[in-house]
Amino acid sequence: MSPRMLGMLGGMSWVSSAQLYTQINQGVAARRGGLHSAALLLHSVDFAPLAVAQAAGDWAAIARQLGEAGAGLRRAGAQALLLATNTMHAVADEIEKRAELPLLHLVDITAAALLQHGVRTVGLLGARFTMELPFYAERLERHGIALRVPDQDGRGAVHRCIYDELCQDRVTPAATALLQAQVQALAGAGAQAVVLGCTELSLALPAAAPVALPLFDSTALQAAAAVDWLCTDRPTERSAAAGANAQSTPCLTNRPLT
């Protein structure tokens, strides 16, 4: 039986795409053993012009470019899409329509993990667009989950940290301290856990970093969902995958949820 082929829209940033690519391949290798790796088609875009379009609010142009890239992956043999960025899920529906492929939607993946752990109110750290545009909150609300985000100053500081440092593969102690403080503030706002809603954030908040709340890493969650999708073409693996998912989901801390 031929393996499933997953299309990946990446490059936003290349740092996060490299993390996701690595984790997906590690997961497939662990699941299937031996020399197995992930059957992926990657279209990595130049992030700079897309970042300019983001700042200008030209989301239609972003949807058009990423949708066309997704259609190219479909023509190359992809059977589903993975969008390797949180922020660009603001135009996920348009991308999916243009590409004519089902999208493994990151917010739905995240919501499933949160509900599995009983989280009904969650904090979100990410780019300013991710925290301020309605797509994340509205999608979580469909699953019965309420969203909390940092205040205006906090959102600005986290955004600058992502774009000026993490997207350029620079991680500093100051970035870690900033994110720790924002997690603490979200705890004070009633969040039970925090989603790292930008695929670079786990670089500055690794598992060893002390934080006030459990962290759900969007990159790890997305990678796990991709591995499940890639590995369900073999009937004997479906029950094993379901059992593994029932036991745990990627979460950066082992703090109990209360």
Q: Are 219 and 205 in contact (CB under 8 A)?
A: no
Asked about 258 being catalytic, the answer comes back as: no
Asked about 85 being catalytic, the answer comes back as: yes
Q: Which amino acid is at 149?
A: V
Q: CA angle at residue 211 from 216 to 136, to 5 degrees?
A: 35
Give me Rg for the CA atoms of the chain. 18
* CA–CA dist 175, 196 (Å, integer): 14
Q: Of the residues 85, 130, 176, 199, which is catalytic?
A: 85
Tokens in use for 161? 């940290």
Q: Of the residues 161, 167, 198, 251, which is catalytic?
A: 198
Here the contacts of 139-145 (C-beta below 8 Å, separation 24 or greater) are 139/89, 139/105, 139/107, 139/108, 139/111, 140/107, 140/110, 140/111, 140/114, 142/111, 143/108, 143/111, 143/112, 143/114, 143/115, 144/115, 144/120, 145/111, 145/114, 145/115, 145/119, 145/120, 145/121
- Write out the catalytic residue numbers: 85, 198
